[in-house]
Chain A
Amino acid sequence: MLALTRTLAVARKELLQLRRDRLTLAMMAALPIAQLLLFGYAIDTDVRHVPAVVWDQDRSAASRDFAQGLQATGFYDFKGQVRDGAEIERAFRSGRAQVALVIPPRFEAALAQGRPEPVQLIVDGSDPQTVGSATSTAQGLAAARSPRAPQLRVEPVNWYNPDLKTSTNIVPGLVGVILTMTMVMLTAMAIARERERGTLEQLIVSPLRRSELVVGKIAPYVAIGFLQMTLILLLGRVIFGVPFRGSIALLYCAALIFIAANLALGLLFSTLARTQQQAMQMSFFFLLPNILLSGFMFPFEAMPPAAQALSQALPLTHFLRIVRGVVLKAAELPDVAGELGWLGALLLVLSSAATLRFRKKLD
């Protein structure tokens, strides 16, 4: 079905053109680094001064002391007292607070008796970056006080986001986002450029098959995608200490399918656009739902069902789960098989659509 000579001719030509296109090459390298630093450091500064409220049910010296200890970490800014759960909810909804400290009645008495008495830390999980840090700070404080009060325990309760996410989520997530951004854009330009420069007519007048064109155009960019992913993961490790716990081979296999799916989508855009500029606009337009719906910024679980359904159609949604699973939780093939299946199906649909859309005619 594929003639190797023709497919290779296209792939080689793409590589040659890419090699001469210094600007695009520089962008491919600069984009991941810039994004990583932006997102990475944004997280680091965000996790200070989280607005918090206190529901002190004990109103004792010990409870006030504990709350002041938390404030002293610089992590929380206490905005005042609340008197019930409904008030916490209002504070969360209005954004007045993201964290609520609930100190139970008889806190002081329990400490004095050496009974374990959990303190509750309610966290607004819809901003996942705060969740991990919020709880770990409080737990740290509790541990620091342990010599005096070994029974003190902080029991984090995470609202809106049961799948406790930490800031390290961002770096693996960025792998997916950056690949989506660059891969779709690269191929979206690929056919539009030929059309603009008049070389498309030469391509469609040749015996080149549609599938050969699609494969030949996609193949060289897969390599670039792998390089970008490696760069992000390495920098994430060096700069932000993001661990890599799972199987590298599994991640790269998944990435291959993911990258190819994005490239096929870019080609599809390319067949729809008349100019490179239109192709570029389509790519940007596509990026938005990816960032919003894929679970990169907002937890999947917090989205309405319609948005959840829509997000299943985005390759990024599935790849994010795989990359987070493999990198952070050492997920194995059986754990991610379902998501891999989704990616494979999307690749099939997108590449068929691109092939069918590309007609070897001028109109």
Chain B
Amino acid sequence: MTAENEVIVSTEHLSRRFGDLVAVRDLSLEIRRGEIFGVLGPNGAGKSTTIRMLCGILDPTSGRGTVVGFDLARGAEQIKARIGYMTQRFSLYEDLTVIENLRFYAGLYGLAAARREDRVRFSLERSGLASRRGQIAGTLSGGWKQRVALACATIHQPPLLFLDEPTAGVDPVSRREFWERIHALAEAGTTVLVTTHYMDEAERCHRLAFIFRGGLLDVGTPTEIVARRGLRVAELEVDDAVPAAARLRQLPEVDEVAHYGHTLRLATVGGVDPEALARAQLGAQVRSSRAARATVEDAFVSMVRSEGA
């Protein structure tokens, strides 16, 4: 059962409509045990809808799927006992204290009294919440709420964890600590499906799925995804950045030009060398240039651009 590469989530042509709107379209995915699987997409892309279907709380309009070994259509209740889900807004009971929230979720997942207290104490310590145990959850700041929500979602040690935009509205330090927790959980064998639109977080995932307007654009490791776009990137120092950027954007081999002050970030497609291209086009205007690594963000922007056009 615990074999490496064991598939823990798999979907085939999963779709969900709301009236005329297709929120998720023909989604086929496989997620393997122990992976941190990131789902990237702009607002309204269908990330939450996908998670809700995988959690068994929203019926797909068509398609099928298996989660932790159970069929989505028939085994929703079995799935629910084996997953953890942190909703988009951390839905804690704001009028309960931290420890009361933890105890409630422990009870909800059927942890008997003795084991419950052990787990609650362990969770409080592991999440650094021990000193806040008696604080009313509604009075916590975003970062602390997020910790409590994660502790609640993992109180029953689920093998599969769904996190829907867990770092939205959380400060950078808390985000960093949060991702350390995610990696620790994954190393301990938990599979994590996390949605985000922070690109730095996307780089920390083992594999990524890009979704846009309900459709899957690409799946793979961050490196694979970037490589598949065939992007090459250079950073250029130029004199007159705005007209230079406008000029470069006209070219078919240019994917994207962003400018920050005097610096242009130029991404090209089809293996074209961006530095050579810039010098050929702009000549002496280019004061210096250096090659840069194409990022997930470059790939994402490029994909959304070509889709959206």
Known contacts A17-B93, A17-B95, A198-B89; is-contact A8 B58 (Cβ 8 Å)? no
Instruction: Tell me whether B75 is interfacial, beta carbon within 8 Å.
Output: no
- CB-CB nearest in chain A for B149: A202
Q: Tell me, in angstroms, the Cα distance from A114 to B152 when the chains sit together.
A: 89
Q: Are A6 and B93 in contact (CB under 8 A)?
A: no
Q: Are B87 and A201 in contact (CB under 8 A)?
A: yes
Interface residues of B in 80-108 (CB under 8 A from A): 80-81, 83, 85, 87, 89, 91-96, 100, 103-108
Instruction: Tell me whether B111 is interfacial, beta carbon within 8 Å.
Output: yes
Give chain B nearest CB distance to A81 CB in angstroms.
68
| A362 in complex: contacting residue of B57, B89, B113, CB < 8 Å | B57
Q: Tell me, in angstroms, the Cα distance from A203 to B93 when the chains sit together.
A: 11
Known contacts A207-B80, A360-B76; is-contact A198 B108 (Cβ 8 Å)? no
Q: Would you give the 0/1 interface string for A194-224, flagging 1 where the beta carbon is closer than 8 Å to chain B?
A: 0001110111111110000000000000000
Known contacts A3-B110, A202-B91, A362-B52; is-contact A207 B57 (Cβ 8 Å)? no
Known contacts A9-B104, A202-B85, A360-B57; is-contact A207 B109 (Cβ 8 Å)? yes
Q: Would you give the 0/1 interface string for A12-23, flagging 1 where the beta carbon is closer than 8 Å to chain B?
A: 110011001100
Known contacts A17-B95, A202-B87; is-contact A361 B59 (Cβ 8 Å)? yes
Known contacts A12-B104, A12-B107, A17-B95; is-contact A5 B87 (Cβ 8 Å)? no
Q: Are B110 and A5 in contact (CB under 8 A)?
A: yes
Q: Are A20 and B91 in contact (CB under 8 A)?
A: no
Instruction: Tell me whether B216 is interfacial, beta carbon within 8 Å.
Output: no
Q: Are B57 and A204 in contact (CB under 8 A)?
A: yes
| B57 in complex: contacting residue of A10, A13, A208, A361, CB < 8 Å | A361
Q: Tell me, in angstroms, the Cα distance from A203 to B107 when the chains sit together.
A: 12
B residues less than 8 Å from A10 (CB atoms):
107-108
B residues less than 8 Å from A361 (CB atoms):
57-59
Q: Are A362 and B112 in contact (CB under 8 A)?
A: no
Q: Tell me, in angstroms, the Cα distance from A241 to B85 when the chains sit together.
A: 58
Q: Are A9 and B107 in contact (CB under 8 A)?
A: yes
A residues less than 8 Å from B187 (CB atoms):
none
Instruction: Tell me whether B55 is interfacial, beta carbon within 8 Å.
Output: yes
B residues less than 8 Å from A65 (CB atoms):
none
| B80 in complex: contacting residue of A8, A20, A205, A362, CB < 8 Å | A205
| A207 in complex: contacting residue of B77, B93, B112, CB < 8 Å | B77
Q: Are A16 and B58 in contact (CB under 8 A)?
A: no
Q: Are B91 and A197 in contact (CB under 8 A)?
A: yes
Q: Tell me, in angstroms, the Cα distance from A9 to B56 when the chains sit together.
A: 22
Give chain B nearest CB distance to A23 CB in angstroms.
12
Q: Are B93 and A13 in contact (CB under 8 A)?
A: yes
Q: Are B57 and A6 in contact (CB under 8 A)?
A: no
Known contacts A16-B96, A360-B77; is-contact A6 B107 (Cβ 8 Å)? yes
B residues less than 8 Å from A362 (CB atoms):
52, 57-58
Give chain B nearest CB distance to A57 CB in angstroms.
72
Q: Tell me, in angstroms, the Cα distance from A21 to B152 when the chains sit together.
A: 23
Give chain B nearest CB distance to A217 CB in angstroms.
13
A residues less than 8 Å from B108 (CB atoms):
6, 9-10, 203, 206-208
Q: Would you give the 0/1 interface string for A48-69, flagging 1 where the beta carbon is closer than 8 Å to chain B?
A: 0000000000000000000000
Give chain A nearest CB distance to B193 CB in angstroms.
14
Q: Are B91 and A199 in contact (CB under 8 A)?
A: yes
Q: Are A205 and B85 in contact (CB under 8 A)?
A: yes
Q: Tell me, in angstroms, the Cα distance from A20 to B87 when the chains sit together.
A: 25
Q: Tell me, in angstroms, the Cα distance from A3 to B108 when the chains sit together.
A: 10
B residues less than 8 Å from A197 (CB atoms):
91, 93-94
Q: Tell me, in angstroms, the Cα distance from A6 to B156 when the chains sit together.
A: 13
A residues less than 8 Å from B91 (CB atoms):
197-199, 201-202
- CB-CB nearest in chain A for B76: A360
Q: Are B81 and A207 in contact (CB under 8 A)?
A: yes
- CB-CB nearest in chain B for A361: B57
Q: Are A8 and B77 in contact (CB under 8 A)?
A: no
Q: Are B57 and A5 in contact (CB under 8 A)?
A: no
Q: Are B96 and A13 in contact (CB under 8 A)?
A: yes
Q: Tell me, in angstroms, the Cα distance from A258 to B285 when the chains sit together.
A: 86
Give chain A nearest CB distance to B9 CB in angstroms.
15
Interface residues of A in 318-363 (CB under 8 A from B): 360-363
Known contacts A16-B100, A362-B58; is-contact A198 B87 (Cβ 8 Å)? yes
List the 3 shortest-distance A-B pairs measured between CB atoms, nearest first.
Answer: A9-B107, A198-B91, A207-B81
25 A-B pairs (CB sep. < 8 Å): A3-B110, A5-B113, A6-B107, A8-B107, A9-B107, A10-B108, A12-B104, A13-B93, A13-B96, A16-B100, A17-B95, A197-B93, A199-B92, A199-B93, A202-B105, A205-B55, A205-B57, A205-B80, A207-B80, A207-B81, A208-B108, A361-B57, A361-B59, A362-B57, A363-B58
Q: A9-B106, A207-B110, A361-B58 are in contact. List 8 more A-B contacts (CB 8 A).
A: A3-B110, A6-B110, A205-B85, A206-B108, A207-B81, A360-B80, A361-B59, A362-B57
